[in-house]
Structure 1
Amino acid sequence: MAVVFEADFGSSQQWTAGRTSAYPNMGPTNPGDHKLDRLNRSYCPGGRFTATRRFFGGLWSCNLLTTEGSPQGFQVQTGDVLSARIVLPADIGAWPAIWTWRDGGNEIDVFEYHAEHPGILELSNHVHDAYLYWDGGSAGVAPGAQLDLAVTLGATSVDWTVNGATVFRDGTGVGPHWQAYLIVNLSVSDGTYHPAPPPGGPRQLSWSCLSLSVDRVPSTPQPPVPTGMYTAEEEAD
């Protein structure tokens, strides 16, 4: 396989900051998904994603980067392998994720995390409603932990590995012609399903994506027609 994408989270060529069709009206807020986000237009050099408490309104200024709408417009596709090295957040209310999105769906969650369940990673294929709340506490999943993730986006199965060990094969896949944009972000929970940040708690939450890359099997080039010979179509003529 060959590397076809290597993330530079400070690049305005690779990424669009603070706008995504996964949020109503392209953002900046998404209360229907139980988020306190108000997306900002900042990039994230070094891969540190933050959410900062706003002084009024109860919302948080949050980082979200997506390849959707960027000059390069990169999309992952069936057969790709996405690899990422991450550092999980430690604070209650932080909701980090790496995921995909296109045309109102095509969502694969490489991971989601909530620190009130310190050993659990949420791994989801929303294309076929397959998911796992994986208890990785014994494998080192914990607030502030560094993890190596890899997801193989197969036609008949999406497979997740954590620190080199396969932890979930969904057995459904994404189909043969699937494509989607990448999203990397930090949301803040509103308290509906996961606790919101406590009053008087930290003014800023964060997590880090230290690296993210996508590998792809190169397409097989067609051999050239030898000089002086005819193709089958030409012979038919």
Structure 2
Amino acid sequence: MTTPPPPSPQPTDPPSDPQPADPPSTTPQPGPDPAQAPVVFDAPFADRTQWAAGATSAYPAGRRNTGDNKLDRLVPGYGPKGDVFTALRESTFSWRTPLVTTEGTAGGFELRPGDRLEARCLVTADQGVWPGIWTWGRDLAPGRPQPGHGEVDVLEYHDDHPRMLELSNHVRPGAPAYLDNLVTPGQWFTVACAFGTDSVDWELDGRAVHSDGQGVGPDWRAWIIVNLSVAGGQWGHRRPRTNAGRLSWRCQDLTVRRPQ
């Protein structure tokens, strides 16, 4: 019996060449949007566990600040009523002025790098008004303040330029921004300020208006201050009219968001 030859081997497909892996993307990925970060502070001004009224270490002893062209006199406990900050004339060179701050409270809230502060505001063009939202930082050690005392001016406003806001960073000073045609007296607007390590960025009604390219650095900590000062007549900022007895502005819905 003849043994049949073994079957011829069947051709097989050559192994396919492995496909090269996609190179890693070099496009920077956007970080978390600070405007969508969780809210970490939204206390109403009447909450005395979170806001102290009529006292701040930013003012010299005696609760006056005449060296900064202010006619202010702080009175312990005197702050806004609701969202209205009202300054009352006491004499030619003294006004009882409202101020609230997170300094010295049970909550002791401090801003950190990366935080975003937002608030709705309404200003008037009454002569002498000087509204402000700003920050002030604790000393690093006794007699050793933070750079610029931790001060960033979220906004300052004066009636002599009724559509202008002043935006400035004193921590890493650059050129302050004096931006005209931003606001209209008597109309509400929303200001936002993001305190980045390398740039402080301002928005108005959701539109970017200024980035300072300086930032506050990684170690910055600061309390929030909201107040109404009264101008003393220097630097082009006029004193109130002689027949004026009160000045005011409004601030509401102040919140702070912090990326996780």
> Shorter-chain TM-score: which interval?
0.7 to 0.9
| Distance (whole Å) between structure 1 residues aligned to residue 230 and residue 81 of structure 2 | 21
Q: Which residue of 2 aligns with 1:6?
A: 42
Alignment of 1:37-186 (within 5 A): 37-40=72-75, 41-54=77-90, 56=91, 58-102=93-137, 103=139, 104=145, 105-130=149-174, 131-135=176-180, 137=181, 139=182, 141-186=183-228
Q: Deviations over 1:164-185 (max 9, x none)?
A: 1100010010001211000000
- Shift >6 Å, 4+ stretches: none
Task: Give the SS at the match of 2:82.
Answer: helix
Task: Check whether the contact 1:85–1:146 (CA below 8 A) recurs between aligned residues.
Answer: yes
Q: CA deviation at 1:199?
A: 1.0
**Cα distance change, pair 16–162 in 1 and its aligned pair in 2 (3 A):** same
Using structure 1 for the length normalisation, give the TM-score. Answer: 0.86
Q: CA deviation at 1:144?
A: 1.9
- Is it true that 1:199 corresponds to 2:242 in the alignment? yes
Task: Check whether the contact 1:5–1:213 (CA below 8 A) recurs between aligned residues.
Answer: yes
- Is it true that 1:36 corresponds to 2:36 in the alignment? no
AA aligned opposite 2:190? D
| Distance (whole Å) between structure 2 residues aligned to residue 48 and residue 176 of structure 1 | 34
Specify which structure has the higher proportion of strand: 1
| Distance (whole Å) between structure 1 residues aligned to residue 105 and residue 98 of structure 2 | 16
Q: Deviations over 1:135-169 (max 9, x none)?
A: 1x2x5x12222110111100000000001110001
**Cα distance change, pair 43–118 in 1 and its aligned pair in 2 (3 A):** closer
Task: Check whether the contact 1:87–1:210 (CA below 8 A) recurs between aligned residues.
Answer: no
Unaligned runs of 5+ residues in structure 1 are: 219-237
Q: Percent identity?
A: 49
Task: Give the SS at the match of 1:191.
Answer: coil
**Cα distance change, pair 57–195 in 1 and its aligned pair in 2 (3 A):** closer
Unaligned runs of 5+ residues in structure 2 are: 1-36, 140-144
Q: CA deviation at 1:57?
A: 5.4
| Distance (whole Å) between structure 1 residues aligned to residue 184 and residue 92 of structure 2 | 31
Task: Give the SS at the match of 1:32.
Answer: helix
Q: How many residues align?
A: 212
Q: CA RMSD in A?
A: 1.2
Moved more, 8-17 or 43-52: 43-52
Using structure 2 for the length normalisation, give the TM-score. Answer: 0.79
Q: Which residue of 1 aligns with 2:13?
A: none
